[in-house]
Amino acid sequence: MIFVKPISFQNNKRQTLRGFIHEPRKYTTAVIVLHGFPGHCEGSVPSRLALTLAIKGYLTLHFNFSGSDTSEGKFGDKLISQEVKEIKSAIDFLERTYHFKRLVIIGHSTGAIDAALYAHTDERISKLVLLGAVSKLNEAVRYDFTDKQVRDFWMNGYVVYKNKDPVGKKWWADGKKLRKTFYDEFFTLNIPAAIKKYKKPLLIVHGEKDEAIPVGKDPHELFQMANKPKKLAIINGADHKFTNEKYFKELVKVIVEFCEKK
């Protein structure tokens, strides 16, 4: 049986961050799943991973970064550097609330950027998993922003996000402005320098059909930068969100094998 409950904790700015805990009856390892941008913790990757890993015996936490969906903070003020700080807040909360022996951080997309930048700074992290990750932020700008959005950043100082869902579903970020300061950090934050300082087990997983971050370059560069022990897994046929259930099961299998390896 899995106990699922909403949780909240404060970040370094005393803003309330909200998310969910999935707690199995017995566990020794805790997992924190970090969502992408402009995503949220109830998106398909973090929510499916959290539940599936809990069923397999892991205590799992997934939460919204500040400025995202149910958490406090303004979307327009979002910064990658602030999300990095909030990983510490999440670990602090988990550590004082639950008892576990090992901690695994899983980041997806921009959450993988956050995790890659943070992991070497916190000895409490046992293992690191990066899904759909980029290797260099200054080159990843083209993945996250269109040419029009870059022009808007420079001309207006912000971009406005629009709901692209053809079904017309309400999207939490629809109509919200994002300031240029978020874009600027793509040229100041250094993933290669951070990942070279991380000395514990690392798993990099990428979908072979990833439409957001092509498989040909970033995961391989990231793998070359990293210290041993490390593993790179390319899941044939999988897209950026591992949408197909077959490929999602392969993703979970790779993650569990990595987590269980001594």
Q: Hey, where are the domains in the chain?
A: 2-142+190-260
Query: 31 to each of 40, 50, 126, 252, how far by Cα in Å?
Result: 17, 8, 10, 13
CB 4 within 8 A of CB 41: no
Amino acid found at 194: A
pLDDT band of 1, cuts 50, 70, 90? confident
- Predicted confidence at residue 262, as pLDDT, reads 83
CB 212 within 8 A of CB 109: yes
pLDDT band of 163, cuts 50, 70, 90? low
pLDDT in tens, 131-151: 999 999 999 998 999 999 999
Query: 122 to each of 28, 44, 89, 146, how far by Cα in Å?
Result: 19, 27, 12, 34
Instruction: Return d(Cα 20, Cα 43) in angstroms, integer.
Output: 12
**Which residues neighbour 128 within 8 Å (Cβ) at sequence distance 6 or greater?**
104, 105, 107, 115, 116, 119, 198, 200, 201, 202, 203
Residue 10, helix vs strand vs coil: strand
The pTM score is 0.96
**Which residues neighbour 190 within 8 Å (Cβ) at sequence distance 6 or greater?**
137
pLDDT in tens, 166-192: 555 677 788 899 999 999 999 999 999
Cβ-count burial of 170 within 10 angstroms (0-12 exposed, 13-18 middle, 19+ buried)?
exposed
Instruction: Return d(Cα 35, Cα 32) in angstroms, integer.
Output: 10
For the chain, the average pLDDT equals 96
pLDDT above 70 for 164: no
CB 207 within 8 A of CB 179: no
- Chain centroid to CA 79: how far? 14
**Which residues neighbour 243 within 8 Å (Cβ) at sequence distance 6 or greater?**
44
Superfamily holding 2-142+190-260 = Alpha/Beta hydrolase fold, catalytic domain (3.40.50.1820)
Share of the chain above pLDDT 70, in %: 97
Strands 177-179 and 158-160: antiparallel
